[in-house]
Amino acid sequence: MQTVAKLIDTSLCIGCKACEVACQQWNDQEYTLGTFQNTYQTMPDLAPNFWNLIKFRETEIGGAQSWLMTKYQCMHCADAGCIKACPSPGAIVQLGNGIVDFNRDNCIGCGYCITGCPFDVPRLSPKTKKVYKCSLCSDRVAVGLEPACIKTCPTNCLTFGSRTDLQFLAAKRAEELRADGFAGAGVYDGPGVGGTNVLYVLKHAGRPEEYGLPKDPTIPWTVSLWKGPLKWLGNTVFIGGILTALFHFVKFGPKEEHHRG
C-alpha cells in the first residue's frame, strides 16, 4: 500500500477557513462559537471537537509585513510520538497507508499521547475522557475519496495523493517560489520524526516558528528516555530483584534466631 499525504502550500492559502468548516461537517462535530480577537484568527486553538485550525500570524520578515495563514492539524508522523507514548494496545494505530488514527474504544484517557506529540495535536475531552485529533479522513480515504478539507479548498492550496508524488510537487512549488523572489522558500516535512505525511511549502522555510510550526520537531527526549533506557533499568531492577531474592533464599534461607551475650 502506498503512503498517502497531504500537501499544504501556504503561499496559496487565503485564510478562508473553508477547510475548518468542511472538517466539522464531515466529522459531524458541533460548531463552538469563538470570541473575536481583533485579528483574522477565527478559532483560538485545536479542541476535542475541532481538529483543523488555520493559524493566523502577523509578522515582519526581512523588513516586509507578512500575513501568514497556516493550516494546522495532526501531521501523521512516520515515527509518531503519540504511539510511542501510548500505553494502551490498539488505542492509536498506524494504517498501512501511513495514517495515524485513534481508536477510541481502546483509549483510556491517560493523555500520554499529548505529551509524546511534538506538534501539540491531541486534545483530551473532559466529557468523554478520550483523545481526539485529525484522522486524515481515514474513513473517506479507505473508500477512495480525498479528505474533506482537500475537497473543499477553493485555491488549490491543499493537495492529496501519494507521498512520493507530493514530495516532488512540493519541491517544484518551492523552486517556483524561489524563482519568484522568495529566496528562503522550501519544504517542511519533519525529518526528525521520520517524515510527516503532511507536507508544507513555506515561503520562509528557515523560520517555521513564524508560522506556528515547531522548528526541527523530534519526539521529546524525556519521552525517548522513558520508553528506552528507563524501561531497561526498570526491568533489570524488577527481574534482578526477584532473581536475587530467589538466589538468596536457595543459598542462605531464613535467619535463625541467635543469642548475644
Partner 1 sequence: MDKRVERFSAPERLTHWLVALCYLYAALSGLALWSRAMWWLAPVTGGGENLRAWHPVAGAVFAVVLAVQFRRWAAQMKIDADDRRWLAASPRYAMHDETGVPESGRFNAGQKMLFWLQSSSAVVLFATGIVLWFPESMPRAARLASILLHPLAAVASMGGIIVHIYMTTIVVQGALHAMTRGYVSQAWARSHHAKWYRQLSDR
Contacts to partner 1 by CB under 8 A: 85, 87-89, 106, 108-112, 114-115, 120, 124, 126, 129, 220, 222-223, 225-226, 230-231, 233-235, 237-238, 241-242, 245, 248-249, 252, 254-260
Binding segment for ligand SF4 (CB under 6 A), chosen from 22-30, 61-69, 70-78, 243-251, is 70-78
Locate 144 and state its grid cell. Answer: 477512495
Locate 61 and state its grid cell. Answer: 520578515
State how far the Cα of 23 lies from the Cα of 4, in Å rounded to an integer.
18
Residue 31's CB is within 10 A of a number of other CB atoms, namely 12
Helices (H), 143-228: 148-152, 163-179, 221-227
Q: Establish if 110 lies at the interface with ligand HEM (CB under 6 A).
A: yes
CB of 106 to partner 1, least distance (A): 7
Minimum CB distance to partner 1 smaller for 111 or for 192: 111
Q: Which does 100 bind (CB under 5 to 8 A by kind): ligand SF4, partner 1, ligand HEM, none?
A: ligand SF4
CB of 110 to ligand HEM, least distance (A): 4
Question: Where in 77-96 is the site for ligand HEM (CB under 6 A)?
Answer: 87
Minimum CB distance to ligand SF4 smaller for 18 or for 131: 131
CB of 34 to ligand HEM, least distance (A): 31
SS3 state of residue 75? coil
Q: Establish if 80 lies at the interface with ligand SF4 (CB under 6 A).
A: yes
Locate 2 and state its grid cell. Answer: 502506498
Q: Euclidean distance between the first and final Cα of the chain, in Å?
A: 81
Residue 52's CB is within 10 A of a number of other CB atoms, namely 23
Q: Which does 119 bind (CB under 5 to 8 A by kind): ligand SF4, partner 1, ligand HEM, none?
A: ligand SF4
State how far the Cα of 166 lies from the Cα of 187, in Å rounded to an integer.
11
Q: Which does 6 bind (CB under 5 to 8 A by kind): ligand HEM, partner 1, ligand SF4, none?
A: none
Q: Establish if 109 lies at the interface with ligand SF4 (CB under 6 A).
A: yes
Q: Establish if 99 lies at the interface with ligand SF4 (CB under 6 A).
A: no
Locate 165 and state its grid cell. Answer: 508524488
State how far the Cα of 231 lies from the Cα of 237, in Å rounded to an integer.
10
Q: Which does 202 bind (CB under 5 to 8 A by kind): ligand HEM, partner 1, ligand SF4, none?
A: none
Q: Which does 133 bind (CB under 5 to 8 A by kind): ligand HEM, partner 1, ligand SF4, none?
A: ligand SF4
Q: What would the 3-class secondary structure string for 35-100 be? A: CCCCCCCCCCCCECCECCEEEEEEEEECCEEEEEEEEECCCCECCCHHHHHCCCCCCEEECCCCCE
> E strand or H helix at 56, and its extent?
strand 53-61
Locate 96 and state its grid cell. Answer: 498501512
Task: Write out the residues near ligand SF4 by the rule CB under 6 A.
Answer: 74-77, 80-82, 85-86, 88, 91-92, 100, 102, 107-113, 117, 119, 121-122, 131, 133
Task: Write out the residues near ligand HEM by the rule CB under 6 A.
Answer: 87, 110
